[in-house]
Structure 1
Amino acid sequence: MAQDGAEMAAGTAEGYASHDGVEHSGFNIHPMDQFVVQPFFSDGPVGMFTVTNATVWMALAVLCTVLLLVVTTRGRNVVPTRAQSMAELSYGFVYKMVHDVTGRDGIKYFPYVMTLFMFIVMANLLALIPTSFAPTSHIAVTAVLALLVFFGVTILGFVKHGMGFLGLFWVSEAPLILRPVLALIELISYFVRPVSHSIRLAGNIMAGHAVLKVFAGFAGALGLFAFVPVLAITAIYALEVLVAFIQAYVFVMLTCVYLKDALHPSH
């Protein structure tokens, strides 16, 4: 009798334990496992030159961008195909954004802004494929993109205006006594830009995919009642498709705003 009780207790404890030895009192759902960077072709540690899942999906995002913007538009058909129409709509959308925010002076930087938009939106959309990987959910990726923008616009500002670029931090319309305080606030907010720029994108993508994984775990555990979380997954998935575009738009819009500050720094 005592032996049976011990076996039952052991079985119960085993059922509440996850694969990593952490005890749980509910479903064994690990929504953050999907964000682990690991070797793509083998097992083992990740080294400096290891091809990882993040590397592969970023390369696929670049490949899809080239296919859409270069290959599908090579014919330049008068009556465009669907793919060519998508490429032309993307081009016109980003071009208008750059022109409206930065003015005529910013048009020469349009290729870089367009590259940022297409890479982010392609990476976000590819990450919605089941068993894929979301590289834009990692700060290591979004921080590099944000720092490139930050250093790029800062160098551009000093190259074009010299020390006059510091006028960006001097609020000449404010009362004289407040100008030093406002200059300090502006300076701090300027250096916080790459932090907010990168965390906004990574945080939104990570949160959405984590929620999808949680509801997918519920669907796998509820049996006959799985239709409830499946309906939720369908709604969230549709929302994530929208978020993929919105986050790319927000990232590029902020890039255009920072570029405008570099081109026209005075308040």
Structure 2
Amino acid sequence: MDQFIVKPLFGDGPVHWYTITNVTLWMALGVLGIIALLVLGTSRRAVVPSRSQSVGELAYGFIYKMVEDVAGKDGLKYFPYIMTLFMFIVFANFLGLIPGSYTTTSHIAVTAVLALAVFLTVTVIGFVKNGAAFLELFWVKEAPLPLRPVLALIEVISYFVRPVSHSIRLAGNMMAGHAVLKVFAGFAQVAAISPIAILAVTAIYGLEVLVAFIQAYVFTILTCVYLKDALHPHH
């Protein structure tokens, strides 16, 4: 688990809020990667797109369609925020697959901030757009009247647990996958089982590539679902 330790880039002192760490470095590289793809890669806007422009346009269209399908037309005004979330998470996940790098999304402090930002954003949107009617989200009108208070309590608890599950799901999946890779990499040092261990590492690495994208997709689509609840609490 030493691969998940937050370390200062310069010196060996304690880590403060202002300390430049390995997490800071790889988050910055992720942001630079996004800028390179979406700004520099699409700057020419050629009719026949380059590879970087094609990838940028594909990502744009993919997230735009997701927001429209899940949150509806009203949710499209929040597309830039959701697009930013997806690109940051997917870049952080894929950069973490580079040997010797640091997976920032395996750190609960990073994913918790992302999840809390989503939670606070959709809650504010819900009250600003709907006022007190936003509380209809917790009142199940279809249920029998005696059960509605009980269901309302369950819905409230479920709502406030959202940032916990939202953050732990991403961090837990990324941490677990990298820990398993490290375990099998250790087995590869044993001559008797090294061929099997190397095959296992290769297979798990391929799975991690898939998980890196899927977890970014899951985080983003859940954000769209929460946004839909904020925009249309009576549905």
* TM tier relative to shorter chain: over 0.9
Matched, 1:239 2:226: no
- What SS does the aligned partner of 1:77 have? coil
Contact 2:74–2:231 under 8 Å retained in 1: yes
1:113-165 deviations in Å (ceiling 9; x for gaps): 00000000000000000010011001100000000000000001000111010
Q: Trace 1:1-267 onto structure 2 (pairs within 5 A).
A: 32-220=1-189, 222-223=190-191, 225-267=193-235
Moved more, 247-256 or 76-85: 76-85
- What SS does the aligned partner of 2:188 have? helix
- What SS does the aligned partner of 1:41 have? coil
Q: Which amino acid aligns with 1:59?
A: A
Unpaired runs of 5+ residues, structure 2, are none
Distance (Å, rounded) in 1 between the aligned partners of 2:176 and 2:137: 34
Distance (Å, rounded) in 2 between the aligned partners of 1:184 and 1:47: 39
Give, in angstroms, the shift of residue 224 of structure 1: 5.6
Distance (Å, rounded) in 1 between the aligned partners of 2:175 and 2:17: 24
Contact 2:187–2:193 under 8 Å retained in 1: no
Give, in angstroms, the shift of residue 225 of structure 1: 3.8
TM-score (norm 1): 0.87
TM-score (norm 2): 0.98
1:221-247 deviations in Å (ceiling 9; x for gaps): x12642211110100000000000000
1:183-207 deviations in Å (ceiling 9; x for gaps): 1110000000000000000000000
Give, in angstroms, the shift of residue 49 of structure 1: 1.1
1:18-55 deviations in Å (ceiling 9; x for gaps): xxxxxxxxxxxxxx000000101222211221100001
Match of 1:27 in 2: none
Give, in angstroms, the shift of residue 83 of structure 1: 1.1
Distance (Å, rounded) in 2 between the aligned partners of 1:165 and 1:54: 37
Q: Which amino acid aligns with 1:242?
A: L
Q: Which amino acid aligns with 1:247?
A: Q
Distance (Å, rounded) in 1 between the aligned partners of 2:233 and 2:4: 39
Distance (Å, rounded) in 2 between the aligned partners of 1:178 and 1:159: 29
Q: Which amino acid aligns with 1:211?
A: V
Length, aligned pairs only: 235
Which structure has the larger Rg? 1
- What SS does the aligned partner of 1:223 have? coil
Q: Which amino acid aligns with 2:40?
A: V
Distance (Å, rounded) in 1 between the aligned partners of 2:24 and 2:192: 39
Distance (Å, rounded) in 1 between the aligned partners of 2:15 and 2:47: 49
Moved more, 164-173 or 36-45: 36-45
Q: Which amino acid aligns with 1:190?
A: Y
- Aligned structure 1 segments of 4 or more residues deviating by more than 4 angstroms: none
Q: Which amino acid aligns with 1:135?
A: T
